[in-house]
């Protein structure tokens, strides 16, 4: 079940997410070039419905990304984060 806010928010790759803002995983890409990568991300907990948060981005270039999913924190390369499709979880606290 998804929240109404998640239904209205645009879907974007996790690599494009803003640090410090919460997101919900919608899907993992599964094209033939990324099947193993998507399976590994799913094993780590990047599953549809899970809440994720980018804690920090590396400098320069913005990678790796420090990402929290559940109680665990992972460092993801941009190519890995591109496989995770997310929507912003907006608490409705303003614009």
For residue 43, the model assigns a pLDDT of: 95
Reduced to 3 states (helix: H, G, I; strand: E, B; else coil), residue 42 is helix
Reduced to 3 states (helix: H, G, I; strand: E, B; else coil), residue 28 is strand
φ/ψ of residue 4, rounded to 5: -60, -35
Cβ partners under 8 Å of residue 63, min gap 6: 57, 76, 77, 78, 81
pLDDT in tens, 2-54: 555 546 789 999 999 999 999 999 999 877 777 888 899 999 999 999 999 99
For residue 71, the model assigns a pLDDT of: 93
Where does the pLDDT of residue 92 fall: very low under 50, low under 70, confident under 90, or very high at 90 and above?
very low
At residue 93, does pLDDT exceed 50?
A: no
pLDDT in tens, 51-68: 999 999 998 888 899 999
Where does the pLDDT of residue 94 fall: very low under 50, low under 70, confident under 90, or very high at 90 and above?
very low
């Amino acid at each position: 079940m998804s929240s109404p806010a998640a239904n209205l928010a645009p879907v974007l790759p996790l690599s494009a997410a803003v640090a410090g803002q919460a997101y919900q995983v919608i899907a993992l890409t599964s094209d033939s070039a990324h099947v193993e990568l998507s399976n590994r991300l799913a094993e780590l907990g990047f599953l549809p419905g899970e809440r994720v948060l980018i804690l920090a981005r590396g400098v320069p270039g913005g990678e790796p990304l420090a990402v929290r999913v559940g109680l665990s924190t992972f460092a993801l390369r941009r190519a890995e984060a591109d496989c995770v499709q997310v929507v912003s979880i907006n608490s409705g606290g303003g614009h």
